Structure 1
Amino acid sequence: MAKYIFVTGGVLSSLGKGITSASLATLLQHSGFKVTMVKIDPYINVDPGTMSPFEHGEVFVTEDGAETDLDIGNYERFLNKNLSKKNNFTTGQVYLSVIEKERRGDYLGKTVQIIPHITNEIKDRIKKAGEDVDIVVVELGGTVGDIEGLPFLEAVRQLKQEVGSENAMFVHVTLIPYIKAAGELKTKPTQHSVQELRRIGITPNMLVCRSEKPLPKSLKDKLADSCDIDRDAVIEATDADTVYRVPLNFLDQNALKPIAKKLDLGELHPDMSEWNYIVKKLVSPQKSVKIAFVGKYLKLKESYKSLIEALLISGAHLDMRVDIEWVDSEELEKLSDEEIKEIFDEVSGILVAGGFGERGVEGKLKAIKYARENKVPYLGICLGMQLAVIEFARNVLGLKYANSQEFEPDTSEPVVYLIDEFIDASGERQIRTHKSPLGGTMRLGGYECLIKKDTKLYEAYKTDKVIERHRHRYEVNGKYEKDLEKAGMIISGKSKEGLIEAVEIKDHPWFVAVQFHPEFTNKLKSPNKVIMSFVENAYKNR
């Protein structure tokens, strides 16, 4: 039977429940256990796929095509493993499933209620995620006291009763605010938060205390006494120079001891030597390189969470600090060529990230043109590849009206076009697609990319086949493939169905654009190879 660690949050949101959960899971994994993680989101949306980046931040895509919370990206980077749709679920998914069962008659005409039907659905999903593993770390989104979180708290309380107290524990992440005027750290918010949990029927076994300042022993003792928690189970979580330092900080405080005691795991000795080495390279590298990151969601950089982490992690593996120069693509549209030159003269590489919609597109095209003409290493991702093809078609092929049907549905030169189904001569569908609730078809999840030898992409991956993750509706039009290649653009990657997955420019030190999202397969211990190759070549170009 799997053992469960439930991580709740109190006082306010954004305390770092996800990083806390991932850090504890990492320490247990490095202690030899088979560990998985689950994120429960209390919003009624079925998934974040239709939510604005300004509302939710990044939508992380799993190998099996689930659009999930960005915490799943953190989990994958920490655990160095691929997760799936069963590792993230929402209130919307739970209620939708229960209603569908009711409509089918699965409940045999009974009155459908929060208890037991909704709570049973929640428990079933958690237990399904815990099949074939030793330990499941479950993060409950939101804050204790939120109305929408109550069914989840009730469900995990019941689950603890079902599996036995020796197989379940609760970790509560809370805030210890520092009141500057009084010059004191205050414990009352935490005491009230724990009281609220206990009123629901849950007694936390460990406190993880977020604070701006170190907690004195007397304050920890006070928390232990007032919250009925063992003294060694009050763990301090001050701000770290990198989130990957947090497991090491927990280890320094012997945070595994109360977990091992509660779950009867024996004495634990995680080997974190490799992890510690990478963290040191993240924090104190020998070299540095500056990359221009061209995007339109720069006011909320969480929209590019995985890509930012991929750049920093790639740099660490190269013993290099990656300094990101944020460039707003909408601002670029207003600038002259001379002003654009001033911006990009200061950087060694240019990255154009993915995105949806026409806003900021002309600015991204200007950045791509600069990278191509001035031989600056370039990496285009998803929309960044489609725009690289459009820019090349307009300015090298001379197709003045080259465009994407996303921006101009009736364009006379649909270099990038919308295609709902991929059908071969026999009439069989050849590719897995996902019909979104808003209409339109998306390629979601992992697909094979067949890589052409003697290309920059092959040099990066050192193999002729990779699986990378997609999230897009539009494809580069194969009708223009021969003309593009004749003019000097290399088609360096294709899907097995023949869709264009990657392009390069022949007479350029390093210009690679890919239709997939390489940042989604990036992990702390195994950085994505094409992103690392981009950073390395940007450094060579400095």
Structure 2
Amino acid sequence: MARFIFITGGVVSSLGKGLASAALGSLLQARGFTVRLRKLDPYLNVDPGTMSPFEHGEVYVTDDGAETDLDLGHYERFTGVAARRTDSVSSGRIYSNVLEKERRGDYLGKTIQVIPHVTDEIKDFIRQGEDEVDFMLCEIGGTVGDIEGLPFFEAIRQFAQEKTRGQCIFMHLTLLPWIAASGELKTKPTQHSVKELRSIGIAPDLLVCRSEKPIPQKEREKLALFCNVRPDSVIAAYDLGSIYEAPLAYHREGLDQAVLDAFSISPAPRPELAKWEDVGDRLRHPEGTVNIAIVGKYTQLGDAYKSIAEALTHGGLANRVKVNVEWVEAEIFEREDPAPHLEGFHAILVPGGFGERGTEGKIRAAEFARTHKVPYFGICLGMQMAVIEAARNLAELPDAGSEEFDHEAGARRFTPVVYHLKEWVQGEARIERRPEDDKGGTMRLGAYEAVLTEGSRVAGIYGARRISERHRHRYEVDVKYREKLEAAGMVFSGMSPDGRLPEIVEWPDHPWFVGVQFHPELKSRPFEPHPLFADFIRAAKEMSRLV
């Protein structure tokens, strides 16, 4: 039977609940326990799949095809535990489930209310798989006091009441603001946040306090007194140079020991932190620097490409180099020559995206990388743009385009090298989709296998002929143009098992040019970098020695 840790936030948002949850999960693993992490989001979207990246950051995709909050990426990167559909839920999904049950008559004519029907649905979600692990960590999105979060706070209050005493604890993450004029850390916002939490029936067992300055012992004792927690349960969370320093930093502050004490687990198993010490050593002592240009359309918000940025860092760890990333707006290349903007970079990455804006710029970035022999990594749309560039400039298909952008009748004549995928095979099932279908959850989502060509670059990188990677897209490169493109020199080095869907393309006569239809960044870990990112950074490191 799992022990439950509920992580809540107060004072302001974006304090790092997801990171704290992930770091705590990794510390509990280091002590020999099994963990699973979950995110409960109060927004009314059924999932973040249709949200703009500017609004919510990236959408993280699980093996079983769930579109989830980006915090699940933190959970996976820190613990290595593959997230599942049952690890992320929103108010929208909860209310949708309740209304579906009401329409079916499952409630036998009762009046449907937030209590008990909505809170019961939330509790049902929380208890899924509780017999599988030692600890279940559940992060509640938003901050205490948000009106939309009240059903979740009430649900976890009820859940803790229903469980055996000592089976659930509450960890509250707050901010201690530094007032420069008076030279003080102020505890009052945290006191008020805890007061708000206690007013709805939840008493925190631990306080994790974000601060840019050291927290004096006097302030810790004051927080413990007024928030009714033990002094050693007031944990400082300082700003760090890298998020991967968090497990060791929290361990030094005693977070994992405080959690075990709250559960009365004694004696506590000694932690094995060697892998995090190695990650820290690689971060602090790089043996070089590489400069990577990410040419995208959501460059104003780094969280839109969060997993890619982290996977590049992991590739740097694998090669003991520091990775400097510069975000380049793709639209610039639709007006200007890419060369002045891209010269000096050791590699170029073009990520996924949706919609026409910036696509011609991405095509020009792919052309620059191909012709100037700069390592290029195209992911999802980045692969499609590289194929369209090759089709236009080398395969005698000057009107090559994509149905995603050129589908309007009479817009212009084009050759649909990239087309809307209408049916495909997932396991034993055949999936069918139409352009007019609802947008949410209708893409090719989750893990699919690919077969790699023997002797290809990617087969060597993976060290395997068959791989499984996560997908999130509606459009595919049309295999009927494969012959023309391969005659021009591009190799289709990865295909779906039925041979119908191109998964990977590469230029064999290039230092490093790979395009993939899937999202390898979603499976990269600091202690287990994805092989494609590790080799991409290796190629960038080699390029840095030449320029």
TM over 0.5, yes or no?
Answer: yes
CA separation in 1, counterparts of 2:390 and 2:463? 27
CA contact under 8 A between 1:25 and 1:79: conserved in structure 2?
A: yes
Q: Deviations over 1:65-89 (max 9, x none)?
A: 0000000001000011211110000
The 3-state SS of whatever aligns with 1:166 is coil
The 3-state SS of whatever aligns with 2:373 is coil
For 2:322, the aligned partner's letter is R
Match of 2:417 in 1: 415
Match of 1:194 in 2: 194
User: Are residues 1:66 and 2:54 paired?
Assistant: no
Match of 1:397 in 2: 395
User: Are residues 1:501 and 2:537 paired?
Assistant: no
CA separation in 2, counterparts of 1:25 and 1:45? 27
CA separation in 2, counterparts of 1:276 and 1:91? 39
Deviation at 1:264, TM superposition (A): 2.5
Deviation at 1:164, TM superposition (A): 2.3
Match of 1:42 in 2: 42
Match of 1:172 in 2: 172
Q: Deviations over 1:189-239 (max 9, x none)?
A: 000000011111110000000011010000000000011100100000010
Deviation at 1:261, TM superposition (A): 1.7
The 3-state SS of whatever aligns with 2:45 is coil
Alpha carbons of 1:127 and 1:429: their partners in 2 closer, same or farther (altered >3 Å)?
closer
Match of 1:228 in 2: 228
For 2:112, the aligned partner's letter is V
Deviation at 1:421, TM superposition (A): 1.4
CA contact under 8 A between 1:433 and 1:444: conserved in structure 2?
A: no
Deviation at 1:246, TM superposition (A): 1.2
For 2:387, the aligned partner's letter is V
For 1:47, the aligned partner's letter is D
CA contact under 8 A between 1:241 and 1:283: conserved in structure 2?
A: no
CA contact under 8 A between 2:49 and 2:440: conserved in structure 1?
A: no
Match of 2:465 in 1: 464
User: Are residues 1:485 and 2:486 paired?
Assistant: yes
CA contact under 8 A between 1:282 and 1:313: conserved in structure 2?
A: no
Deviation at 1:129, TM superposition (A): 4.2
Structure 2 unaligned segments of length 5 or more: list them.
none
CA contact under 8 A between 1:293 and 1:326: conserved in structure 2?
A: yes
Counterpart of 1:368 (choices 366, 369, 383) is 366
Deviation at 1:157, TM superposition (A): 0.7
Match of 2:324 in 1: 323
CA contact under 8 A between 2:67 and 2:441: conserved in structure 1?
A: no
For 1:30, the aligned partner's letter is A
CA separation in 2, counterparts of 1:441 and 1:85? 15
Alpha carbons of 1:231 and 1:119: their partners in 2 closer, same or farther (altered >3 Å)?
same
Match of 1:148 in 2: 148
Deviation at 1:439, TM superposition (A): 7.6
Deviation at 1:269, TM superposition (A): 1.6
TM-score normalised to structure 1 length: 0.96
Deviation at 1:130, TM superposition (A): 2.5
CA separation in 1, counterparts of 2:110 and 2:459? 59
Match of 2:76 in 1: 76
For 1:191, the aligned partner's letter is Q
For 2:81, the aligned partner's letter is K
Deviation at 1:423, TM superposition (A): 7.7
Match of 1:298 in 2: 299
For 1:490, the aligned partner's letter is V
Alpha carbons of 1:434 and 1:74: their partners in 2 closer, same or farther (altered >3 Å)?
farther
The 3-state SS of whatever aligns with 2:108 is coil
Match of 1:115 in 2: 115
For 2:356, the aligned partner's letter is E
Match of 1:519 in 2: 521
Deviation at 1:430, TM superposition (A): 4.1
Q: Aligned-residue CA RMSD in angstroms? A: 1.7
Deviation at 1:531, TM superposition (A): 1.3
Match of 2:125 in 1: 125
User: Are residues 1:213 and 2:213 paired?
Assistant: yes
Alpha carbons of 1:23 and 1:440: their partners in 2 closer, same or farther (altered >3 Å)?
closer
CA separation in 2, counterparts of 1:16 and 1:501? 35
Match of 2:354 in 1: 356
Match of 2:540 in 1: 538
Match of 1:454 in 2: 455
CA separation in 2, counterparts of 1:375 and 1:41? 45
For 2:9, the aligned partner's letter is G
Deviation at 1:342, TM superposition (A): 2.4
CA separation in 2, counterparts of 1:363 and 1:24? 42
CA contact under 8 A between 1:175 and 1:210: conserved in structure 2?
A: yes
Q: Deviations over 1:241-276 (max 9, x none)?
A: 111111111111222222112212221321111111
Q: Deviations over 1:120-139 (max 9, x none)?
A: 11011000043311110110
Deviation at 1:433, TM superposition (A): 7.0
Give the number of equivalent residue pairs. Answer: 536
CA contact under 8 A between 1:401 and 1:413: conserved in structure 2?
A: yes
User: Are residues 1:13 and 2:6 paired?
Assistant: no
CA contact under 8 A between 2:36 and 2:81: conserved in structure 1?
A: no
Counterpart of 1:344 (choices 334, 342, 345) is 342
CA separation in 2, counterparts of 1:438 and 1:81? 29
Deviation at 1:331, TM superposition (A): 1.2
CA separation in 2, counterparts of 1:240 and 1:171? 21
For 1:334, the aligned partner's letter is R
CA separation in 2, counterparts of 1:82 and 1:434? 30
CA contact under 8 A between 2:314 and 2:533: conserved in structure 1?
A: no
Match of 2:283 in 1: 282
CA separation in 1, counterparts of 2:164 and 2:536? 50
Alignment identity in percent? 50
The 3-state SS of whatever aligns with 1:28 is helix
Match of 1:135 in 2: 135
The 3-state SS of whatever aligns with 2:150 is helix
Deviation at 1:280, TM superposition (A): 2.0
CA separation in 1, counterparts of 2:434 and 2:252? 45
The 3-state SS of whatever aligns with 2:265 is coil
User: Are residues 1:388 and 2:389 paired?
Assistant: no
Alpha carbons of 1:434 and 1:212: their partners in 2 closer, same or farther (altered >3 Å)?
farther
The 3-state SS of whatever aligns with 1:46 is coil
CA separation in 1, counterparts of 2:244 and 2:541? 24
Alpha carbons of 1:394 and 1:440: their partners in 2 closer, same or farther (altered >3 Å)?
farther
For 1:522, the aligned partner's letter is S
The 3-state SS of whatever aligns with 1:541 is helix
CA separation in 1, counterparts of 2:404 and 2:181? 55
For 1:342, the aligned partner's letter is P
CA contact under 8 A between 2:422 and 2:434: conserved in structure 1?
A: no
CA separation in 2, counterparts of 1:283 and 1:210? 23
CA separation in 1, counterparts of 2:110 and 2:341? 66
For 1:384, the aligned partner's letter is G
The 3-state SS of whatever aligns with 1:406 is helix
For 1:251, the aligned partner's letter is H
Deviation at 1:438, TM superposition (A): 2.6
For 2:358, the aligned partner's letter is G
CA contact under 8 A between 1:36 and 1:129: conserved in structure 2?
A: no
Deviation at 1:103, TM superposition (A): 1.0
User: Are residues 1:93 and 2:96 paired?
Assistant: no
CA separation in 2, counterparts of 1:179 and 1:138? 32
For 1:502, the aligned partner's letter is I
Q: Deviations over 1:87-108 (max 9, x none)?
A: 0000000011011111111111
